Amino acid sequence: MQFANTIPRTDLQLEMCHAKDVLQNMSIFCQRKLFTDVVLRVERREFHCHRAILSANSIYFWTMFCTGLQESQQGIVDLKGVSADTMDCVLDHMYGGRLSIHEDNVQDLLEAADLFQMLGLRNRCEKFLEEHLDPCNCLGILSFANSFSIPALSEKSRQFLRESFTEVIQHEEFLQLPKAELLDHLSSDLLAVAREETVFESVMSWVRHDAGARKGALRELLELVRIPLLDPIYFVEKVEADELIVSSKECLPLLQEARKYHIFGSEITTPRTRPRKFADVAEVIVVVGGCDRKGWGTLPFMERYQPATGQWTQLAKTPDYSKTQFAVCILKNDIFLSGGHLYTKDVWMYNSVLNVWLRVAHLNKGRWRHKMVALQGKVQTYNQRKDEWTFSSSTPFAQRCINAVSLNDLIYVMGGLVECIYQYDPRQDLWSILTRTPGPLENSGLTVCNGMLYILGGKDALAEGTDQVLCVDPTSSNLSHVSNMPRCVSYHGCVTIHQRVK
């Protein structure tokens, strides 16, 4: 006996074919009203169905027919909350897995899936919406997903909005956003905008769409725009000259903050001076010079570390790099380096735009192992409004080779032989421990970048330089190892500046 050559089917394939055949037969029975035992009446249309098929597909119908409810004894069941056309599609799905989803019916089908508790139908509708996200509809889909508590679709819609923000704001849906939702979107660091001017213009477009009703929200909205990061010329021509903004006294502090930032640079630190993650300008950490692992040789290198990408980039080498134990600080986004071993008077300025070092006026007196900060646009050693020194709480440590930075009106101190990071609150004159470090780190780098504390290099318990980069979240006190430097280093400068990275 000879058999034709055929591809053998697996048991699973045979089972699937069998199930498909059964469903097709049940669909034919339904169409011809054979063996049906219940009629669903929707908008005066009658659908002859099988209770078993309905119950097998839907928890709603299983509960209706299998738990002794009144409908289980009725031949005709009236359904509310669903249209006849939608019910037709739902039954096609129940009886044969057939489903035609398109933009005009997906919302109705999802509502029906929610009503009838049909997880499979719901999942197919969610997948359709995810695959058809577009700049013109993502806000509507986001609102719909929130209404029906669909977390996955909601998050994908938010992500699409962030990634396509420049295109989304061109559509009518954006102008119809409720204020609360707009505030939520503007607060995100993940808006994929190269320049903050895009965010500012989106806010002004939204306000002007109904200026009479919305101008009262202007201050609240502009607080979420990184106004200090706007181009200075754009700020003068488009922001300071805008009649809606100028007429709002509530907006004046925001304009003053931006003016100060344009004058004093990174000395002014607020949530609005921190670039968004995808901006073409980012906060980056710059490591300047220092000593090698054993502390015997000096290093000429200056390198930029971008926390968002973990990338290290070489910058212009430090001038006269035979010096160590100098001081560095930031002024108007440029780096100043002063002094160094042994009592050097030299002061150099690194232009962060041109990537060059320039010699500037020297110190009146040579210094080394000193510190330098910028205050009100100057490099200074002391300047108090009252021209006086006052005592505060004593530090809970007595160490050399320590570092300090400020963030959100708090001061953080670490280094020396201390194995923890201290936090000082000037308002309460109170010291506390933020977190502990893996060990002592003398002469390390400490800086603030993107609202986090970064510790770079330094001498460990064996008095050898390290290459580790640690990150501390001041809100949670969590400390983690995030990167390694190109080489072990100590006695180096460490600052944060804004630079174009794209």
Q: Render pLDDT for 482-491 as a digit per residue (tens, 0 to 9).
A: 999 999 999 9
- Among 97, 132, 167, residue at a domain's last position: 132
> Which residues 6+ apart lie within 8 Å of 47 measured at CB?
39, 40, 41, 87, 88, 91
Residue 65: in which H helix or E strand, if any? helix 59-66
How many CA atoms within 13 Å lie on the side-chain side of 197? Answer: 13
- Are 228 and 349 in the same domain? no
pLDDT value at residue 306: 94
> Does some domain include residue 438?
yes
The answer, yes or no, to whether residue 414 has pLDDT greater than 80, is yes
- Are 259 and 371 in the same domain? no
> Does some domain include residue 390?
no
pTM of the model: 0.70
Side by side, the strands of the sheet bearing 493-500 are 311-314, 302-306, 281-288, 493-500
Q: Render pLDDT for 331-370 as a digit per residue (tens, 0 to 9).
A: 888 999 988 887 888 999 999 989 999 998 888 888 888 8
pLDDT value at residue 35: 72
Q: Are strands 38-42 and 76-78 parallel, antiparallel or unpaired?
A: parallel
Contact 283, 450 (CB under 8 A): yes
> Does some domain include residue 146?
no
Residue 226 and residue 273: Cα distance in Å, rounded? 6
- Are 291 and 250 in the same domain? no
Per-residue pLDDT averaged across 379-389, rounded? 49
- Among 215, 239, 273, residue at a domain's last position: 273
- Are 230 and 378 in the same domain? no
- Are 227 and 320 in the same domain? no
> Cα-Cα-Cα-Cα dihedral of 416, 421, 426, 431, to 10°?
-90
Q: Which of 123, 173, 174 is nearest to 153 (CA)?
A: 123
Residue 285 and residue 351: Cα distance in Å, rounded? 15
Q: Return the CATH number at 302.
A: 2.120.10.80
Tell me how far the alpha carbon of residue 229 is from its chain's centroid. 18
pLDDT value at residue 244: 95
- Among 273, 303, 333, residue at a domain's last position: 273
The answer, yes or no, to whether residue 387 has pLDDT greater than 60, is no
Domain total of the chain: 3
> How many helices (H) and strands (E) in the chain?
17, 21
Which sign does the torsion angle of CA 253, 254, 256, 260 carry? Answer: positive
Q: Are strands 410-415 and 402-407 parallel, antiparallel or unpaired?
A: antiparallel
> Which residues 6+ apart lie within 8 Å of 498 measured at CB?
229, 266, 275, 281, 282, 283, 284, 333, 352
- Are 362 and 487 in the same domain? yes
The answer, yes or no, to whether residue 382 has pLDDT greater than 70, is no
The share of the chain scoring above pLDDT 70, in percent, equals: 90
Which sign does the torsion angle of CA 393, 397, 399, 404 carry? Answer: negative
Q: Render pLDDT for 199-221 as a digit per residue (tens, 0 to 9).
A: 999 999 999 999 999 999 999 99
> Does some domain include residue 162?
no
Per-residue pLDDT averaged across 376-396, rounded? 58
* Least confident interval from 156-165, 270-279, 378-387, 419-428: 378-387
pLDDT value at residue 14: 60
- Are 329 and 430 in the same domain? yes
pLDDT value at residue 21: 61
The answer, yes or no, to whether residue 71 has pLDDT greater than 50, is yes
More confident residue, 60 or 344: 60
The DSSP secondary-structure symbol of 380 reads E
Per-residue pLDDT averaged across 423-442, rounded? 91
Q: Render pLDDT for 248-284 as a digit per residue (tens, 0 to 9).
A: 999 999 999 999 988 887 777 888 998 898 888 889 9
The DSSP secondary-structure symbol of 291 reads B
pLDDT value at residue 381: 42
> Does some domain include residue 33?
yes
The share of the chain scoring above pLDDT 90, in percent, equals: 58
Secondary structure class of 150 (helix, strand, coil): coil
Angle between helical axes of 138-147 and 151-163 (0-180°, round to 10): 160
pLDDT value at residue 246: 93
Secondary structure class of 254 (helix, strand, coil): helix
pLDDT value at residue 95: 87
Per-residue pLDDT averaged across 36-65, rounded? 91
Domain boundaries, position 267: 177-273
Angle between helical axes of 119-131 and 106-116 (0-180°, round to 10): 150
> Does some domain include residue 290?
yes
Q: Return the CATH number at 215.
A: 1.25.40.420
Selection from 23-27, 222-226, 355-359, 421-425 with the highest mean pLDDT: 222-226
Helices (H), 148-297: 151-163, 165-168, 172-175, 179-186, 197-208, 211-214, 218-222, 232-234, 243-246, 252-264
* Least confident interval from 104-113, 301-310, 405-414, 428-437: 405-414
Contact 103, 132 (CB under 8 A): yes
Residue type, 167: E
Contact 261, 226 (CB under 8 A): no
Q: Render pLDDT for 85-109 as a digit per residue (tens, 0 to 9).
A: 999 999 989 887 788 899 999 999 9
φ, ψ of residue 368 in degrees (nearest 5): -155, 160
> Does some domain include residue 77?
yes
- Are 48 and 78 in the same domain? yes
Q: Render pLDDT for 460-478 as a digit per residue (tens, 0 to 9).
A: 888 899 999 999 999 999 9
- Are 432 and 344 in the same domain? yes
Q: Which of 304, 360, 356 is nearest to 493 (CA)?
A: 304
Tokens coding 198:
């895009």
- Are 321 and 428 in the same domain? yes
pLDDT value at residue 365: 85
Residue 167 and residue 139: Cα distance in Å, rounded? 12
pLDDT value at residue 4: 43
> Which residues 6+ apart lie within 8 Å of 222 measured at CB?
200, 203, 245, 251, 254
> Which residues 6+ apart lie within 8 Å of 411 measured at CB?
404, 405, 423, 424, 426
Cα Rg of the chain, angstroms:
33
pLDDT value at residue 501: 76
Per-residue pLDDT averaged across 103-120, rounded? 93
Residue 496 and residue 446: Cα distance in Å, rounded? 10
Side by side, the strands of the sheet bearing 410-415 are 402-407, 410-415, 420-425, 430-436
Q: Render pLDDT for 1-14 as a digit per residue (tens, 0 to 9).
A: 343 445 455 666 66
Residue 388 pLDDT level (bands cut at 50, 70, 90): low
Q: Return the CATH number at 113.
A: 3.30.710.10
- Are 328 and 415 in the same domain? yes
pLDDT value at residue 319: 83
The answer, yes or no, to whether residue 172 has pLDDT greater than 50, is yes
> Which residues 6+ apart lie within 8 Å of 220 measured at CB?
179, 183
Tokens coding 412:
């953080």
pLDDT value at residue 427: 87
> Does some domain include residue 124?
yes
The answer, yes or no, to whether residue 449 has pLDDT greater than 70, is yes
- Are 108 and 204 in the same domain? no
Q: Render pLDDT for 149-165 as a digit per residue (tens, 0 to 9).
A: 899 999 999 999 999 99
Tokens 């839907």, residue? 58
More confident residue, 231 or 13: 231
More confident residue, 331 or 384: 331
